[in-house]
Amino acid sequence: DTGVSQDPRHKITKRGQNVTFRCDPISEHNRLYWYRQTLGQGPEFLTYFQNEAQLEKSRLLSDRFSAERPKGSFSTLEIQRTEQGDSAMYLCASSLGGGRGEAFFGQGTRLTVV
Amino acid sequence: AQKVTQAQTEISVVEKEDVTLDCVYETRDTTYYLFWYKQPPSGELVFLIRRNSFDEQNEISGRYSWNFQKSTSSFNFTITASQVVDSAVYFCALSGIFWDNQGGKLIFGQGTELSVKP
């Protein structure tokens, strides 16, 4: 399978715990995006990378959130001290930069904070 | 500011009916992209179409067609002869141009849930 893959698919955690999600983009894609989707809403942009550089962060990304993309390959999104409001689907997408392609999405990681 | 509005929250049709999903957008950019994505119950967003702001020609792909009207800032999506497998949430999205460091992120509408009944 050469699509975008995310791990885990589901995560249940207790409030206050830290969680980390992983995204493996399509191999030749140099742009990688993270979005958050709550029930009944469209995805909301969180952050994106061009290769290993994080070029933009939404104000939705509080200090408890951090994303990395070492070596411009896979990416991780960490949420520290989770809160119930963090419960959502976290979607990763990748694309070719330079106006060459649309974004392809993974199946998402559904986070439930109890 | 950029914004996408999908006024129809839910639509229910009977198989073989035609259905149109509306999308209205706001942007100050002179060049931009518009998209439609499908989200079936499995959750993965599936790309359907990308249209750039230079090209106002309508597009048809099988049972799907798209009507882009810059004058009314609309990018509507029509499914002809709907089928049960078309049941999903459909999202319209807007993006700046990709070829600078600020472009590429998608601004999504709230989605329209389409239910096609047999």
From B44, B98, B107, residue closest to A99, measured CB to CB = B98
pLDDT at A34: 96
From A45, A50, A99, residue closest to B101, measured CB to CB = A50
Query: Which residues contact residue B91 at a Cβ distance below 8 angstroms, ignoring those fewer than 6 apart?
Result: A42, A43, B6, B36, B37, B38, B39, B45, B108, B109, B111
Query: Which residues contact residue A13 at a Cβ distance below 8 angstroms, ignoring those fewer than 6 apart?
Result: A19, A82, A111, A112, A113, A114
pLDDT at B59: 85
Tokens of A113: 């904070």
From CA A28, how far away is CA A81, in angstroms rounded? 34
Query: Phi and psi at residue A50, in whole multiples of 5°?
Result: -110, 110
pLDDT at A61: 86
CB count within 10 Å of CB A104 equals 20
Amino acid (one-letter) located at B83? Q
Nearest CA-CA partner of B76 in B16, B1, B7: B7
- Chain B interface, mutation test: which of A55, A100, A102, A109, most B Cβ atoms within 10 Å? A102
pLDDT at B96: 78
Nearest-CA distance B81 → chain A (Å): 26
Q: Return the SS3 of A95.
A: strand
Percent of chain A with pLDDT over 90: 73
Sign (positive/negative) of CA torsion B8, B29, A65, A73?
positive
Amino acid (one-letter) located at A106? G
A8-63 per-position pLDDT tens digit: 999 999 999 999 999 999 998 889 999 999 998 999 999 999 899 998 888 888 89
Q: Which residues of B touch A45 (CB under 8 A)?
A: 105-107
B65-90 per-position pLDDT tens digit: 999 999 999 999 999 999 999 999 99
Sign (positive/negative) of CA torsion A14, A15, A16, A17?
positive
| Chain B residue set in contact with A, beta carbons under 8 Å | 4, 35, 37, 42-47, 50, 91, 93, 97-99, 101-111
Q: Return the SS3 of A25.
A: coil
pLDDT at A1: 54
- Average predicted confidence (pLDDT) for chain A: 92
Q: What is the mean pLDDT of each run of 10 residues along chain B (118 residues)?
A: 94 97 94 92 89 85 93 96 97 78 78 97
From CA A20, how far away is CA B95, in angstroms rounded? 28
Between A103 and B15, name the one with better pLDDT: B15
Cβ-count burial A62-86 (b if 16+ within 10 Å, e if not): eeebebebeeeebbebebeebeeeb
